[in-house]
Structure 1
Amino acid sequence: MKRLNEERTKVLFEKLAKYIGPNIKLLIQRPDGLYCFREKKNRVYYVSETILKLASTIPDDNLICMGTCFGKFTKSGKFRLDITALNYLAPYAQCKIWLKPSAEQQFLYGNHVTKAGLGRISENVEKYNGVLVYSMSDLPLGFGVAARSTAECKLADPLASICFHQADIGEYIRSEQDLFTNLA
């Protein structure tokens, strides 16, 4: 596991700031200790510094991963958040969208959110902000990008896209299903 270079750290923090704003500091300096980001094979892991010290005794070739995978860098150098980061980002999210129960399944199948499926939206959402998508019972469902601001949502027609789908908790099940389908 290696440290992220300056360029990759900047790209990572810009992506995180899109979803949690200035709360990145709270993600690193937590009450249970300091946390950091490490990279292995273009994947970024979020790990406690105490675990990092313990893992330093394991040879790098024998270490597959450590901590929680937050996402990966694409070949073009962009960072793509993974759904495993959802539970860590949810408490610090600034822009949120809540879905009606009838729209939850559609979002979990990878579809965008329409106004007809919108239950609530945070007041401060601007167009193209990163948003966390929740069920009406405050269960985090995934990530998205706001297609319209809060003010535009009030005037939009029911079939207009409100949030573009980025990642959801149903991805793991879909990817596992694809894996088993290809093996059969």
Structure 2
Amino acid sequence: MKALTDEKIKLVFENIGANVKQLIDRPDGTYCFREQKNRVYYVSEKVLQLAASVGRDRLVSMGTCFGKFTKTGKFRLHITALNYIAPYAQATSAEQQFLYGHHVLKSGLGRITEGTPRYQGVVVYSMNDTPLGFGVAAKSTAECKHTDPLTMVCFHQADVGEYIRSEHELT
């Protein structure tokens, strides 16, 4: 596994959000991001040191896969990162249509964090605050307040059901 370049670090940190520092400097140790075959892994430095004794050709993965770089150079988060990002994320709420892979309409929006800008990455929660997945805000908070109920307010990116539907593609 190799360290990320400055450009790739910037892309990953933009997708994760402002609280990425809390993911790296944790009370239980220091964590880092590493890349292998265009996939980004979140791993503790202790595990990273242990994995150094394994040959590069024999190492399949280590840590948690946070996402991958697309062929166009963009970074997409995987649902496997949800448990790590959700505690630090700003919450929006929507449910059933999101779990089936659909975008969220304003009529399905329960609440949204104040000050959310357009095209900001968001974590989608159920009404009982269970994290469901990731999305991208199609409208800002101000635009959501004055829009039609059938307008899209969140573009679907990944959800917890996707992990089961496409498990063979995640490794």
Question: What band does the TM-score fall into relative to the shorter chain?
Answer: over 0.9
Matched position secondary structure for 1:170:
helix
1:9 to 1:177, Cα distance in 2 relative to 1, 3 A: closer
Answering whether residue 113 of structure 2 is matched by residue 144 of structure 1, we say no
1:74 to 1:135, Cα distance in 2 relative to 1, 3 A: same
1:9 alignment partner in structure 2? 9
2:112 alignment partner in structure 1? 121
Matched position secondary structure for 2:97:
helix
Deviations 1:79-117 (A, max 9, x none): 1111111111111113x2112xxxx22111110101111
Bigger CA radius of gyration? 1
Q: Distance in 2 between matches of 1:175 and 1:74?
A: 17
**2:93 aligned to 82, 98, 103, which one?**
98
Matched position secondary structure for 1:14:
helix
Deviates more, 1:39-48 or 1:5-14: 5-14
1:181 alignment partner in structure 2? none
Task: Report the RMSD for the aligned CA atoms in angstroms.
Answer: 1.6
Instruction: Give the letter for the 1:53 counterpart.
Output: Q
1:59 to 1:177, Cα distance in 2 relative to 1, 3 A: closer
**2:100 aligned to 109, 118, 124, which one?**
109
Within a 5 Å distance, the mapping from 1:3-152 to structure 2 comes to 3-16=3-16, 20-21=17-18, 23-94=19-90, 96-99=91-94, 104-152=95-143
The answer to which structure has the higher helix fraction is 1
TM-score (norm 2): 0.93
> Percent of counterpart pairs with the same letter?
67
Structure 2: unaligned runs, 5 residues or longer: none
TM-score (norm 1): 0.87
